[in-house]
Chains A and B, each alone.
Chain A
Amino acid sequence: MLEARELVLERRGRRLLDGIDLAAPGGRVTAIIGPNGAGKSMLLKVLAGELAPTAGSVRLDGQEMSTISAAALARRRAMVPQSTNLSFPFTVVEVVRLGASVPGFDGIKTRAHEHADQALETVGLGGFAARLYNELSGGEKQRVHIARALCQLDAAHRMDSETAVLMLDEPTSSLDLAHQVRVLDEARRQAGIGRAVLVVIHDLNLAAAWADDIVLLSAGRIHARGKPAEIFDNEILSEAYGCAIEVNRTPPAGVPYMLPHLLAAAQRNGEAS
Chain B
Amino acid sequence: MQDMTSPIARTTPQRRERIGYQLIFASVLLLVAAVLVSLSFGATGITLGALGRVLHAYVYGATDSAGVTEQLVLLGIRLPRTILGAFVGAALAVSGAMMQGLFRNPLADPGIIGVSSGATLAAVITIAFGKTFAAPWMAAFGVYALPFAAFLGGFLTTTLLVLIAGRRGQLMVGTLLLAGIAIGAMAGALTGLIAYASDDRELRDLTLWSLGSLSGASWPKVIAILPFVAVIAIMLPRVVRALNGFLLGEAEAFHLGIDVERMKWLIVVVTAACVGAAVAVAGLVGFVGIVVPHFIRLIAGPDHRIVLPCSALLGGALLLFADVIARLAVKPAELPLGIVMAAIGAPVFLHLVLRRGVGGLE
Residues of A within 8 A of B (CB): 45, 48-50, 69-75, 77-79, 81, 84-91, 93-95, 98-99, 101-104, 129-132, 134-135, 152
Contact = CB atoms under 8 A, between A and B. Distances in A.
Given A84-B252, A135-B1, 11 more contacts: A50-B255, A74-B255, A81-B252, A89-B302, A90-B247, A91-B13, A102-B257, A130-B12, A131-B9, A134-B2, A134-B360
A88 B106 contact: yes
A50 B251 contact: yes
Contacts of A75: 257
A135 B361 CA distance: 10
27 contacts: A50-B255, A72-B257, A73-B257, A79-B252, A79-B255, A81-B251, A86-B247, A87-B105, A87-B247, A87-B362, A88-B104, A88-B247, A89-B302, A89-B359, A89-B361, A90-B247, A90-B301, A93-B13, A95-B248, A98-B244, A98-B256, A101-B241, A102-B257, A130-B13, A130-B16, A132-B6, A134-B1
Interface residues of B, number: 37
Given A87-B105, A101-B241, A132-B2, A48 B361 contact: no
B9 A102 contact: no
Nearest to B257: A74
B360 A89 contact: yes
Interface string B190-206: 00000000000000000
Looking at B10, B13, B16, B301, the one whose CB has the most chain A CB atoms below 10 A away is B13
A210 to B, nearest CB: 23
A130 B257 contact: no
A74 B249 contact: no
Contact of B104 (A50, A87, A91, A98): A87
Given A132-B6, A134-B360, A134-B362, A89 B297 contact: yes
A88 B257 contact: no
B8 interface: yes
Given A69-B259, A88-B297, A98-B245, A135 B2 contact: yes
Nearest to B101: A88
A132 B297 contact: no
A81 to B, nearest CB: 6
B129 interface: no
Nearest to A71: B257
B4 interface: yes
A54 to B, nearest CB: 14
B1 A50 contact: no
B303 interface: yes
Interface string B236-247: 000001001101
B257 A103 contact: yes
B260 interface: yes
Given A81-B251, A84-B248, A134-B362, A89 B301 contact: yes
Interface in B1-25: 1-2, 4, 6, 8-13, 16
A86 B244 CA distance: 11
Contacts of B255: 48, 50, 74, 77-79, 81
B244 A132 contact: no
Contacts of A135: 1-2, 4, 9, 360
B302 to A, nearest CB: 4
A50 B249 CA distance: 13
A149 to B, nearest CB: 8
B48 interface: no
Nearest to B303: A94
Interface in B42-61: none
B249 A81 contact: yes
A86 B16 CA distance: 18
B166 to A, nearest CB: 16
B211 interface: no
Contacts of A99: 256
A101 B13 contact: no
Contacts of A91: 8, 13, 16, 301
B256 A152 contact: yes
Nearest to A132: B360
